Structure 1
Amino acid sequence: MPAVPARPGRRPRRLTARMKLTLTYALFVFVAGSLSLVVVYLALRFVPDYPLGDLNPQAAAVATRPDILQALVKASGVVLLLLALIGLGAGWLIAGRVLRPLQDITRAARRAADGSLDHRVGLTGPRDEFTELSDTFDDMLARLQRSFDAQQRFAANASHELRTPLAVSRTMLDVAVADPDGQDYGRLVSRLRETNQRGIDITDALLQLSALDHTPPAREPLDLAGLARSAVETVREEAGTRGVALSADPRPALVDGNDVLLRQLVLNLLHNAVRHNLPTGGSLALTTGPDPLRPGRTLLTVTNTGPPLPVAVDRLTEPFLRGSGRVAEKDPTRRGHGLGLTIVASIVRAHHGDLDLTPNPGGGLTVRVSLPAVE
């Protein structure tokens, strides 16, 4: 096993954990043996201190107490030496067996430190401290791997999303330069403006995500029902244009939150529900009120019809992942930048809430946002 350099400020290692355990076992055996011999030695002090042979001249010579104690001291030295050797040998073997799972975890940790996250310790056997540590470490590796994979997808998708408006703008400008007389410059400027605005929207959304993850928002008591009514009126016209029947039942729901962020949360959920609904005959329902399953919390629910989701719902909060996967909608009016639910999840975390996404059996999605209520 390669040596690991000591961290700055930490004293160099003198004894390994196995050696410390071995010495501890050997010392315990030595002390236990010594105590046993001391007890025997003290007990022999009750042996009569006179020649027993004087009572019976015909009997063979019998050892006196000093003779017995002297023989015991000599034998004790030999026995203690054997106990020390046995303690060292047995302690070394026992310590190695006890610490073997820890060595497996250490090897896995070194592989993880080198950037490999696809392995697991996977200790088997009865549940003890080492198997609990192994299971916890495996769970940590799994979460790190999911986070690392999501970060890689985010980097790739962000690069693609930010590059696309620039590439489209350059293509339109190249075409205009190649054929300046055949261009509708009014339409060209409009398309360039639309493309530029898309890039600005993506950048603003990314900045908002970064701010939510690093700066706690200012909060105050407010009624989530009022924010819901305002958001519903904002999207009602778009819902009517798309043929989505919108219903709302906003009951009082006092929360300790940020007015701007919670309004953005509701708007994002409603826009997402409207734009990812059925082409015709769709519906959308919003409710607010106390959480019936969790006292002391409020619940915001947004339910919409729509096609069956092609991706797992737990991935819908990933940046730039749309309901149809990585493919943008062909209809520009339905096209988003894939950050709506990502921002929702960040706002929920900033308010110490819970976000639950549940696919409906017939298609569409039900979103539940549970937030701490104000007493």
Structure 2
Amino acid sequence: MTTIRVRLTLIYSGLFLLTSVVLLVTVNVLLRQAMDARLVQPVAQVAEVAVPAPLGPAGRPPLPPLPQLVEDVIGYQWEMTGLTVAILTLVSLVVGWLVAGRLLRPVHRITATAQRLSLSTLHERIALAGPKDELKELADTFDAMLDRLERSVAGQRRFIANASHELRTPLAVQRAAIEIGLPEDIGEIRDKLLLHNRRAESLIDALLLLAQAEHGLDGTSRVDLDQVVRLVVAEGRTDEVSVTARSEPFVVDGDPVLLNRLVTNLLDNAVRYNRPGGTVEVTLAGGILTVRNTGPHVPEERFGDLFEPFRRLHTTRGQGAGLGLSIVASIARAHGAGVHASANPGGGLEIVVDFARGAEAGPAGG
């Protein structure tokens, strides 16, 4: 695929070559006609009687006849014309390439800014200086769009913070009322109310965390991902499923709380969607976090649903909210990591989070 710079260079050079050829051909043709009209024809009319040409000075041979001299001059002119056009064509290609690059420099600046932008760098602007032309107008329009987007994101973040407080507080009060206010003799009803209360709290926490991850990172710090993996595995061990872990040192620039939740959700998902007596393997090597389990077979057509919110796989080990892997995908994207899932031959899933490559997150699962 040819770039705009190449196309502009070819257009400039093509126009220059066309006008140069037309100009030089016209000059040569007119010169030929003028020399024929003013030299060759008058001489031919006067020299009706052949006169021997005298020898030149110092006995040198005489000059060639005038018509032959005109032919030699015109031939030389055409040779010089061709050489000149070839040289000027090469020069026009170089000059056209440089001029096109200079003209497209603001476009490259706009493109670089757009590629560098994320929800955590919305404060950046192109701020293109120069004359008020079409490119300056495009850059100013882009900056105005970024202003509106930054205000929108800031408003959404304020909403998340307010919602976090307004939603959690009533549920905490409700749980305290259930635990303290209900008598022990209605234990079954009391336990159901507490169960639904905890589920509501977990769902709200997951939704708020998902929204936070989708809106990017407010700030980053250097996080030892291998220590996060070891801590999560140590806290998440269970008697029903065997969990093994192997991790190599790796540092990530990111949010330690979100990275902890990413590893926690991967481990919880691998334990929940497993079989009794199954295994879970957690590996961190070369910046690639891999979690494998021995759960039920997952059809290939379900891979597209894995990372979508509120999508659940059938399991006999209880149901989650369907947000676990969607949160994983959002946190991975916020840290510039790639996520993908594949089926294990004997059943279960292998989920890979690639922090080393920093690729775009793939479809995510829940």
- TM-score using structure 2 length: 0.49
- TM-score using structure 1 length: 0.48
